[in-house]
A = this chain, B = another copy of it.
């Protein structure tokens, strides 16, 4: 599971260290029957100026998801083109670094420092400054929606969800 936020430097050759946590995560996915690729897979988000990534296991999950859709569903084709076609395999060097292709660095406006954002099954790569505002608004929105963060497993006593009533204060 990809967790935590981590900022590393992007050197003159376009190399950046992948957080050690992330490396063991993709390694774990790899052992369980996936290929022999030791690295991460990264593509430009189609939702903003940042990169998305994960291990080969994540891509296999997406592949399975897409292969359950109609082969000529326009959305399926769009996802294949937006994710598979735009993604790059970045393999680790002996020190756990990857070299980030120029196009990807330019897309996400990365220079000097890059921030890895662990998000469970996948992660994102941001320009640290750009991520700051995201982080702030995410906290705000999480607070406003906190009543939706209800773990299942136990029975839900009250019929209504919102719990604390009005909740969403500023």
Does A66 sit within 8 A of B, measured CB to CB?
A: yes
- Whether the Cβ atoms of B80 and A46 lie closer than 8 Å is no
Taking A134-B81, A141-B166, A151-B61 as contacts, is the C-beta distance between A120 and B2 under 8 angstroms? no
CA distance A121 to B66 in the complex (A): 11
Contact with B along A1-20 (1 / 0, CB 8 A): 11111000000000000000
Which residues of A in the span 29-70 have a Cβ within 8 Å of any Cβ on B? 35, 41, 46-48, 56, 59-63, 65-67
User: Is A129 located at the chain interface by the 8 A CB criterion?
Assistant: no
Instruction: Known A134-B169, A149-B65, A168-B141; judge A81-B119 contact (CB<8 A).
Output: yes
A142 x B4 contact (CB < 8 A): no
Q: Please tell me if the beta carbons of B3 and A59 are within 8 angstroms of each other in the complex.
A: yes
* A47, A60, A66, A143: residue with the most chain B Cβ atoms closer than 10 Å: A47
Contact A86-B152, Cβ < 8 Å, known A66-B120, A120-B63:
no
For A47, the chain B residues whose CB sits under 8 A away are: 72, 143, 146, 169
Q: With a CB–CB cut-off of 8 A, which chain B residues contact A141?
A: 74-75, 78, 166, 168
Given known A3-B59, A61-B153, contact A143–B46 (CB-CB < 8 A): yes
User: Residues of B contacting A46 with CB < 8 Å?
Assistant: 139, 142-143, 146
6 A/B residue pairs, CB under 8 Å, sorted by A: A1-B35, A5-B85, A47-B143, A78-B142, A84-B119, A86-B135
